[in-house]
Amino acid sequence: MIRRKNNLIISMKALLTVILIVLMSGCSVVNKITGDETAGKPEIAESNDGKEEPSAEESSNISYKELKVGDTAPDFSAKTLKGEEFTLSDLRGRVVLINFWASWCFPCVSEMPEIQKLYDEYSRDELEIIAVNVGEKENKVEDFAKNNPDYSFNIVVDEEYLISEKYPTAGIPYTVIVSPDGVVVEIFLGSRTYEAFSSAVDKNLDI
């Protein structure tokens, strides 16, 4: 009986370890542009809606640069689901958290309450949050937002990967913290807690 209990405890610990690893590692995805798994290129998965792969000629015209801490955050313009248009460089003077996610990615969805808590704790003069949905159709993202009305941070649909191509990653969730002067100061691959995010924000606020 004791041996059975010990085996059960060991099995439960192993299962919890596997779950933790999955949550922290994020969703490993395949390169939407080239179909390969070359390091330094954005390995973004196709959504269930499916998209045709670009031609070899189109792919060869796309250049990629792995983003590093200390780089200037690549600029982009977008419209949120709320209909508000913005340009990243116009947000200078505050910390910006850019989170790349998809509704099919369990670690992405599981960290959203942490991101919302962060959004609630800081003023818009201190922190702006942009959640970039990767590769899904707008109506699907809108349905997700309607089913999760507690998430009030900005959601952007990147169906054509125009933003994601500027922030190449091996998986999602992928979060980039941008300082008030527009520099990448933290990069998180995999889900994180409120404490991890807030620590990165606090280090870059003039407080």
- Provide the residue ranges of all domains of the chain, joining segments of one domain with +: 27-202
Q: 82 pLDDT exceeds 80? A: yes
- pLDDT tens column, 55-76: 434 433 444 568 999 999 999 9
0.85 exceeded by pTM: no
Q: 20 pLDDT exceeds 80? A: no
Reading phi first (left if > 0) and then psi (alpha if -120 to 50, else beta), residue 164 is in: alpha
What's the pLDDT score for residue 28? 54
The model's confidence at residue 25, banded by pLDDT at 50, 70 and 90, is low
* For range 101-125, the mean pLDDT: 97
Tell me the percentage of the chain whose pLDDT exceeds 70. Answer: 68
The model's confidence at residue 187, banded by pLDDT at 50, 70 and 90, is very high
Q: Which fold has domain 27-202?
A: Glutaredoxin (3.40.30)
Q: 44 pLDDT exceeds 50? A: no
Who contacts 178 (Cβ-Cβ below 8 Å, separation ≥6)?
73, 88, 95, 96, 97, 98, 184, 185
Nearest Cα to Cα of residue 153 among 190, 128, 181, 188: 128
Of 7-21, 77-91, 186-200, the range with the lowest mean pLDDT is 7-21
* For range 116-121, the mean pLDDT: 97
Task: List the beta bridge partners of residue 157.
Answer: 133
Q: How far apart are CA 79 and CA 97, in angstroms?
A: 16
